[in-house]
Structure 1
């Protein structure tokens, strides 16, 4: 069974209706995906362009991909369709989370702003079905607040960008990336294979190599807000291009917390994960929703890696972004 047929069949088995026309969006040449906060998110597109990959930890190649034992967390359908399932192979012990975070930070410390790397970790070499888990890390270029506003204006981004959130968090900087996702280029899978072969021969616990950073059909922008205690709230927009209708399938660890919320009349989803491999801590919270207006579709994320920020505060910050 082809991957197109397999994914279409799995979506039809969901308790919710599968995204309309999803099977028409899945292209055989698109083999790389997105992992959202220790969950893999797979994007499918209509047109043939360069392969695009977003991942917060893992690149999963789709050979033998399946949903055995998984649980549907949510499914939003539309011009930009997003669904999220749990995946048992994304569950790690807390001491393993600490180790993986440390190894990724070691690599990031050696990258100049704008560089990306594929990382092989021998002790955490896993697969989902027949698909290898590939770790990666980016070191995004950070832009000061005033320059960030100018950049967004030049690129035609019209999303609401307040000076402060919750009265105490001030806009400090921005980046054309997500702090909880990694954007890797088309060569990530072959680089991983080379590193694994080298690691098997040498017995090395960790190896890494530079790769190109992906550029593709969804533009990502993150604005960072901080308070006096250095707690951080991140506002990320994933904006779909006018000529594509992507569908994003996310995979998350089974221990993740998922609850629905309402943001500006839209259904949003609150996620809390205590196994985050990125950010200032292993605790990551995210309030996410999708909004569509005319030819524009945007996936919003209001996130934090600060233990002092509560779910209620994140929801309040999210609501302030959709108020007129």
Structure 2
């Protein structure tokens, strides 16, 4: 498909998102999918957002729970693969997968709220049932390696911290075309609760010295446009802002690229309601400090200003 028209001085950048949503809903192919819900889908899409002057692609045509998205991104950077820290911060977006696994294994028709409370209160239960496998953050900061041992067998080697490597390479070799954080570890996909959807982040430096700008391209193999994409855009913008701060650069452009870009068939009410709205306002994202490393950011360091979204729009998550 042709990518939505980019933002201009007189066109709100959020229209790109709404144009994409409308195109998928009106022209997307109906497809069966893993969840059994069914989708309307297009393949190969792109959105572009200017991150200069603290701009952030935070949707205004519905309320985006950016605090949950921010806490999720900080959780990724810890390398954690357990939902317990998220639940302790009130973030429930990853509960569906371990809950489904627990219900199937135990036969207990436990309510989601009760399951989450047990994960929070019982460390042993959380260890057994709150694990997601080697998802996102594990690959980002501890990509597994194996070394050939003296006995002729392979043994586990030191993990690779891709995020730290990219921060360093941006500082020392900004012109490189290898500033990449990759989540798609083929050898471990079958151990993940959900293989990474937002799988590849590539960074690019434009300009030099004090004028250097950090751009990011996020490639997403599979994208739930109604529920997932608003989170993904904010998360990628936040990561880019933190990377820029750590490397002394100005934030540049966020380029988002989707493979299978879809809307679920049971999201009709959300889609129709959101397409009836018009974007307004200009939310801003600020980092209140630059800590010693990208792994030292706290939620309190993230500030969103001038965000006045329209009402909440809800739809079921396809698991």
Note whether the superposition's TM-score is higher than 0.5. no
Compare CA radii of gyration and give the structure with the larger one: 2
1 or 2, which has the higher helix percentage?
Answer: 2
Return the structure number with greater relative CO, CA threshold 8 A, min gap 6. 2
TM-score by length of 1: 0.28
TM-score by length of 2: 0.29
